Amino acid sequence: MIRYSGYLMPTTKETPSDAEVVSHRLMLRAGLIRKVASGIYNYLPAGLRVLRKVEGIIREEMDRAGAQEVLMPSVIPAELWKESGRWDAYGKELLRFRDRADREFCLGPTHEEVITDLVRREVRSYRQLPLNLYQIQDKFRDEIRPRFGLMRGREFFMKDAYSFDADEEGAAGSYQKMYDAYSRIFRRMGLAFRAVEADTGPIGGKSSHEFMVIADSGEDAIVSCGACEYSANVEKAECGPEGSVPAATPAPGPPRKVPTPGKRTIGEVSAFLGIAPGLFFKTLLFETDKGDVAVVLSGKHEVNEVKVKNRLGADWVKLAGEERVREITGAPSGYAGPVGLSARVLADHSVRGIASGATGANEKDAHLVDVVPGRDFLPESYADLRLVEEGDRCPRCSGPIRFSRGIEVGHVFRLGTKYSVALSATYLDAFGKEQPIVMGCYGIGVGRTAAAAIEQHHDDDGIVWPISIAPFEACVLPVNTKNDGLVKEAERVGEELSARGIEVLFDDRDERAGIKFKDADLVGIPLRVTFGEKNYEAGCAEIRDRKTGRTDRVEISEVVARVCTAAQEKKKECAP
Ligand code: ATP
Ligand code: MG
């Protein structure tokens, strides 16, 4: 049992001005964290209790799934990152520095290099595989925009796990085990979440899922099917081929050039010519490491750059600026079109849905009409290159697609042999042949998960913790600390609850009752036992449920049993 009087949990009434989201505000107000520098925090005792609980659940489930806990250093020699090629590729999020001997180091933002180095030294034979190693450790990422408190910090705790298998089949099994463990972890924390298919980038190509806690304040847009289990983040979400291919109407004559003075956007040209946006061949020019590329899609859709990048197998793509557009098309931007264009042309499936349409003439103040795809321009390929939209159908079952927002709390990723090949982490198979180890990596943000839990579980009075990650399970609150008999009885009940395994905060502060109630609510302790004067004289106390507000007056002799039962009930809500 912890006594509030000597406990550092400095609650505040004022809403901190720089806190934009509710979890950040409430973590500050409840005295759980304090800022040291941008994205860098002190964890106060109650805040640390929450993080330790989150870690505890993660640890139990990782162990259950057969992973082994290790601990790697934060400080990593540059050589390892140079070996993987990420020293140059990672950019400014990687905090680099030199030691006194002028050797280069970085603070680990993730640990693929370190773990692969460990494993390549220790694993020789297929008999030592599979292996899954994890740690819960302090990460540093020099985020460009640290914000939302623990949600996007620079220094933060992460559980990162890495699996090592002999082949792809084994790796798929390890991935599934982690996927299942993650589902249990987030259920045990009482969170509503979805595992969404995520983009793996050109090197991945294998599976990746992000575990998203559903919350309006989430930074990620996700789509999910109203009918089946399909969900994906917006970057990844597939769009099937356009519903109906237009009936074969008689092909119009050759493209005609029409003047469109000063009209550049689809909206402007569409209104000016009286042609629906869906009948435009919208043409976007990209500069990429694979050369210039034009992407053509129906004017009613938006391009998805990630899909373009993956389709090309490119490392980077970016929309061409005004200058470059002029060089490629000979016209200012707003007049690009695929007809007679020298650049490579990729078409979205939606282009097939347009029998004949309008597009830019690659000439200032002019567009073409009566353009027929396949006749007047020939795309190198048709592919899914657009963003999913409201009204789209599920690519799996044609059910209705819904949009929502989520907070990415976890990520599972099949790495393949990217790091094992780069760092020569190999093993000898049963025939004595050297093979690269097949890897997977799996992360959970500890602080971000706690913050996400608050985003999902709070009300006007404060946090409403799911009991499994609450800093305390019950608060025992004597209303008048001057009444010795009352305080003694409350204390006895508190001790007895502790002895029964309930984590108790005993609010022995010499404060007004109203302040104590407000603090218990703000901090979000699931159960509160109040010893008021009148009830005490009558041999009673009150048990209040933070979530429902339900208050029961019970005889003091029954309090312990009732609180234990109520806590049990709440734990059931956090069943795996
Ligand atoms: P994001 O897209 O939000 O930056 P990420 O893709 O960089 O996340 P991963 O590299 O997959 O994240 O890291 C694994 C987990 O670590 C994430 O799912 C998230 O829970 C957590 N995490 C990542 N960056 C931060 C951060 N800046 N602050 C707190 N937690 C973080
Ligand atoms: Mg990131």
Supply the DSSP string of 3-26, one letter for each residue.
EGGG------SSPPTT--SHHHHH
Give the per-residue pLDDT at 535. Answer: 97
What strands, in cross-sheet order, belong to the sheet with 293-298? 317-319, 281-288, 293-298, 344-348, 381-383
96 forms bridges with which residues in the sheet?
106
pLDDT digits (tens, 9 = 90+) for 14-67: 888 889 899 999 999 999 999 999 999 999 999 999 999 999 999 999 999 999
Closest ligand 1 atom, CA of 110?
10
3-state secondary structure of 178: helix
Is the C-beta atom of 447 inside 6 A of ligand 1?
A: yes
Distance 93 CA to ligand 2 centre (A): 9
Give the per-residue pLDDT at 243. Answer: 55
Residue length of the chain: 576
Is the C-beta atom of 159 inside 6 A of ligand 1?
A: no
From 158, 213, 233, give the residue whose CB has the most ligand 1 atoms within 8 Å, as the site to mutate.
158
Closest ligand 1 atom, CA of 146?
27
Residue 110 CA neighbour count, 13 Å, CB half: 15
Is the C-beta atom of 158 inside 6 A of ligand 1?
A: yes
Is the C-beta atom of 141 inside 6 A of ligand 1?
A: yes
Closest ligand 1 atom, CA of 410?
18
C-alpha to C-alpha distance for 336 and 317, rounded to whole angstroms: 18
Positions of the chain with pLDDT lower than 70, given as ranges: 201-206, 241-249
List CB contacts of 547: < 8 A, sequence separation 6 or more. Answer: 464, 526
Residue with CA closest to ligand 1 atom 3: 408
Is the C-beta atom of 156 inside 6 A of ligand 1?
A: yes
Is the C-beta atom of 211 inside 6 A of ligand 1?
A: no
**Range list of H helices, 423-512:** 446-456, 484-499
Whose CA is closest to 451, among 438, 425, 469?
469
pLDDT digits (tens, 9 = 90+) for 385-412: 999 998 899 988 989 999 999 999 999 9
**Which amino acid is residue 556, in one-letter code?**
I
440 forms bridges with which residues in the sheet?
163, 414
List CB contacts of 502: < 8 A, sequence separation 6 or more. Answer: 473, 474, 563, 564, 567
Is the C-beta atom of 312 inside 6 A of ligand 1?
A: no
Give the per-residue pLDDT at 82. Answer: 97
Distance 445 CA to ligand 1 centre (A): 6
Residue with CA closest to ligand 1 atom 31: 445
List CB contacts of 304: < 8 A, sequence separation 6 or more. Answer: 235, 385, 386, 387
C-alpha to C-alpha distance for 512 and 343, rounded to whole angstroms: 75
Distance 229 CA to ligand 1 centre (A): 24
Distance 156 CA to ligand 1 centre (A): 9
Give the per-residue pLDDT at 251. Answer: 79
Distance 449 CA to ligand 1 centre (A): 10
From 448, 454, 455, give the residue whose CB has the most ligand 1 atoms within 8 Å, as the site to mutate.
448
Give the per-residue pLDDT at 143. Answer: 96
Q: Which ligand is nearest to the CA of 139?
A: 1
Is the C-beta atom of 209 inside 6 A of ligand 1?
A: no
409 forms bridges with which residues in the sheet?
none
Whose CA is closest to 328, among 340, 319, 317, 341?
341
Distance 94 CA to ligand 1 centre (A): 14
Whose CA is closest to 508, among 475, 541, 533?
475
C-alpha to C-alpha distance for 173 and 181, rounded to whole angstroms: 12
Give the per-residue pLDDT at 13. Answer: 92
List CB contacts of 448: < 8 A, sequence separation 6 or more. Answer: 150, 151, 152, 156, 407, 408, 409
